[in-house]
Chains A and B, each alone.
Chain A
């Protein structure tokens, strides 16, 4: 407890966006608590501080519900990385990223990096069904309210947005295509940006599949952004840098 009361200034901000029920909270929970358990739909946004080596990374887990749409741009202000999350069993959730969430990132840093994350891969990919972390096998048994989908249905539907039809799988190509469109929306050059195959992930919060990979890749990628911010801060002496000299913490584990 006292540890928390210690002042920790976040060095960098990571925001998780995506439609409700895609598993944003579950992903973060899996990463920080090494567990999968029943969640409650997030209200507003929840702020977490993660120690990453000598750095403090703030993570905003936002609510996907339309009710909280307006707050998104506030959470995204100054973000160094945005995780755009969809549910691999729901075309709609991928479409929503473009329709509803992409514009929220307008307030993010201009050098913000974007990851496209298809969660619930355990429902479509046999590889994602194995527990990634043998010490903490998947908990909670059956997926809660997540839509159940026959695991063999690889053909992408003709129309991704047909309303009322049962949820259908989203392939990696669709995610990569979306990544391209995100870069274009941001006015970024595909050649000089991080490639889609590095920035598109399929994860499972339930089994832990690719979850550490996702967060750790992103954290490593935002390091330059942290360093740049610190140099800027050193020029303005008013800013508190007290935790600058903290010894590096463990790279992972409880914080």
Chain B
């Protein structure tokens, strides 16, 4: 009964303000094997004209308010039936919107209307989805203060949930947040990690202790659902989305009002999981909980909160995570090549990756030959490494030696990471050397000295210092404000690390609020492009203060942001120019030819999934 009504009703939540027929047009675009930027632009022009003149309203608060009312009052079964009058209303609305899109107040009123009419579309979509997702379901929940009155679901669940919000432990000073305060609830995105036994492991805001009752309740909810052989995936309320991810013995929960798609939030939770794995390895977490079901994992993670906090901040502010791609520091290719060669020459047995980072961006990665043949480094692993470096910035002269697991490379074994800054006291150029040998510190540190010497000889540091993120003005297109471009395949190397490039965010996106607003728009476009129920190839989205165009082809994924006055024709020309510019600059913007160690003395014992690694033993197992 729980899974029948509310879940199918809410499943298509993100789709509601988009009339179905636009989707149909969007779908048959692209994928022609065309050559060069010009050809792409042609496709784009055709595609855009197909779209007609209507605009896409951005789904804002207003929409949700309206939907909320309808949820709590209407019988879901009724809304499942298509309502012909509603469809009519949708089309008149489109006409209206296309005429008056620039009138802000008008637009929001209209969106309000559309919310009702689009529910028809939503309901239809949900019926289809219901079939795919049998066994999994979504509980509709109206969280926050109105929870008690509005909670939809089985009686058991709702009463448990009311407790979770109503009854909180007294505040603790430890993580500096009063978890009973309204400000605590208002956070854009909460993240909790708990064990299957309901033990708190991590909370982004407020101390885990203070939240232990809340986490216990979350776990009760999860296991209640599991007892019926189901998996709880997400819960939607009027303003928040709650997403659950279970990975082995860990349960990760996100409560967000960031209006991201469920999939995006799920991916973010996976990053959190992977960061935990990167510190403890999957094998040891499994072993620990096999050994003792109610083990308090905070014992092992104590001190790592800042690493997880840092990760969640990065996830919010750095589009690398959204795009699952690595951002390189733009550098003349000759300089990048000579740096790669320096790294290539400084090797020692069991050294498998040499990574140079400057200004928090990747300069180059050199991998041991057998390793790169075996597997490639995933962007997510690079993100975790970069976050670790950011969160562990030792003071200046120190050289760090620490075990780290690259979860996507191999979730069960450790590498030993040597981390050192090459330019103290500024500390912007960082060398990261990964070895499979725990004892190799001095040998690896010796490699660093050789690298440092060669870099001094070639004056590399001051050349790197000159490198900078670029301004969108260099593209030379007046209405283009910002973009993110992710090529899928760099020719000549299909094992290339997925990368993307993006200019600095400049005015009007200089303030934190505006930056976040643009990122939110991008996230929204991304969720539309990657919607699992109705993926799109192209979106032309006229928002209040800018116009965005997202476009995915077999060769790249592109997100662009224009001034609001841009015309469709202008946008097409701009994208042609942009693609041409990117082609011209690609040697500078990307790592094009990833270097390998040609030969390594004693090729490493360990590579992906190797069995003989002393996989988990970091010593702490003996303490359990």
Within 8 A of A (CB), among B391-409: 391-403
Partner of A45, one of B301, B307, B393, B400: B400
Interface stretch (choices A62-70, A174-182, A190-198, A220-228): A62-70
Is the pair A41, B304 in contact by a Cβ cutoff of 8 Å?
A: yes
Interface size on B, residues (CB 8 A): 44
Q: Which residue of A lies closest to B307 (CB)?
A: A43
**Interchain nearest-CB distance for B472 vs A (Å):** 34
**Interchain nearest-CB distance for B350 vs A (Å):** 15
Write out, one digit per residue, whether chain B residues 495-506 have a CB within 8 A of any chain A CB (1) or not (0).
Answer: 000000000000
**Given contacts A1-B456, A70-B617, A100-B623, is CB(A44)–CB(B401) below 8 Å?**
yes
Is the pair A33, B395 in contact by a Cβ cutoff of 8 Å?
A: yes
Whole-angstrom CA separation of A68 from B441 in the bound complex: 15
**Interchain nearest-CB distance for B448 vs A (Å):** 9
| Interfacial chain A residues near B174, Cβ < 8 Å | 145
Q: Does A42 contact B (CB under 8 A)?
A: yes
Q: Does A47 contact B (CB under 8 A)?
A: yes
| Interfacial chain B residues near A43, Cβ < 8 Å | 307, 388, 392, 400, 402
| Interfacial chain B residues near A20, Cβ < 8 Å | 302-303
Within 8 A of A (CB), among B589-624: 617-620, 622-623
| Interfacial chain A residues near B306, Cβ < 8 Å | 40-41
Is the pair A48, B392 in contact by a Cβ cutoff of 8 Å?
A: no
| Interfacial chain A residues near B417, Cβ < 8 Å | 44
**Interchain nearest-CB distance for A160 vs B (Å):** 20
Partner of A5, one of B302, B452, B617: B452
**Given contacts A45-B400, A47-B445, is CB(A65)–CB(B623) below 8 Å?**
no
Partner of A70, one of B394, B452, B618: B618
Q: Does A71 contact B (CB under 8 A)?
A: yes
Q: Classify the interface of chain A: helix, strand, loop or mixed.
A: mixed
Whole-angstrom CA separation of A4 from B398 in the bound complex: 11
Partner of B618, one of A40, A42, A68, A255: A68
Q: Classify the interface of chain B: helix, strand, loop or mixed.
A: mixed
Q: Does A32 contact B (CB under 8 A)?
A: yes
Chain B CB count within 10 A is highest, among A33, A67, A73, A74, for: A67
**Given contacts A4-B397, A33-B395, is CB(A47)–CB(B441) below 8 Å?**
yes
Is the pair B392, A42 in contact by a Cβ cutoff of 8 Å?
A: yes
Q: Does B239 contact A (CB under 8 A)?
A: no
Is the pair A46, B399 in contact by a Cβ cutoff of 8 Å?
A: yes
**Interchain nearest-CB distance for B437 vs A (Å):** 11
Is the pair A69, B395 in contact by a Cβ cutoff of 8 Å?
A: no
| Interfacial chain A residues near B422, Cβ < 8 Å | 1
Q: Does B232 contact A (CB under 8 A)?
A: no
Q: Does B300 contact A (CB under 8 A)?
A: yes
Q: Does B423 contact A (CB under 8 A)?
A: yes
Q: Does B584 contact A (CB under 8 A)?
A: no
Q: Which residue of A lies closest to B391 (CB)?
A: A40
- In the complex, given contacts A42-B394, A66-B302, A255-B397, what are 4 additional A-B residue pairs having Cβ atoms less than 8 angstroms apart? A43-B392, A45-B400, A46-B394, A48-B399
**A interface residue numbers (CB < 8 A to B):** 1-2, 4-5, 7, 20-21, 25, 29, 32-33, 40-49, 61, 63-74, 100, 145, 255
**Can you give 20 contacting A-B residue pairs, CB < 8 Å?**
A4-B424, A5-B452, A21-B303, A32-B397, A40-B393, A43-B307, A43-B388, A44-B402, A46-B401, A47-B398, A47-B399, A48-B397, A48-B399, A63-B402, A65-B300, A67-B280, A67-B618, A68-B402, A68-B620, A71-B438
Closest 8 CB pairs of A and B: A70-B619, A44-B402, A41-B303, A46-B398, A69-B619, A47-B399, A43-B402, A70-B618
